[in-house]
Amino acid sequence: MNIKAIAGKIGLDWENALEYYGGDIGMLKEKLASFEKDTAFDELRKAIEQKDSEMVIKRAHKIKKAAEKVGLNTLAKKAGELENAKGLKEMPAFLELEKEYQGVVNALRDE
């Protein structure tokens, strides 16, 4: 996986992500390789479908933290917006997050 090559495509802050892992590119690659499994986006989707606001907050927070750890700042921001969304704002925030998430996941799969 050539992380630096896809960084711009997925909104990855290369410098901060590399710094987080102490310059260990291998560790960063491992975290990106397991990102989709680690975030369990389907569980968030299920919480949205069930209108379980408490679980939506927990799942959005998990995605936000995972995204922050690998320098995916835009994704982290979108997850934070969902985490803080209330009522009618929840579904639009979810759709924004889902779109960003799918872009990241698709780029990582293609890599």
* CATH number of domain containing 79: 1.20.120
pLDDT at 89: 92
Predicted confidence band at 5 (pLDDT cuts at 50, 70, 90)?
A: confident
Can you give the pTM of this predicted structure? 0.91
pLDDT at 52: 95
CA dist 14 and 17 (Å) reads 5
Answer yes or no: is pLDDT of 96 > 80. yes
Total domain count, the chain: 1
Q: Is the dihedral of CA 109, 32, 26, 13 positive or negative?
A: positive
User: Residue 22, by phi and psi: left (phi above 0), alpha (psi -120 to 50) or beta?
Assistant: left
User: Residue 51, by phi and psi: left (phi above 0), alpha (psi -120 to 50) or beta?
Assistant: left
Residue 104 structural domain: 3-110
Q: Do residues 90 and 53 touch, judged by C-beta distance below 8 A?
A: yes
Answer yes or no: is pLDDT of 110 > 90. no
Predicted confidence band at 61 (pLDDT cuts at 50, 70, 90)?
A: very high
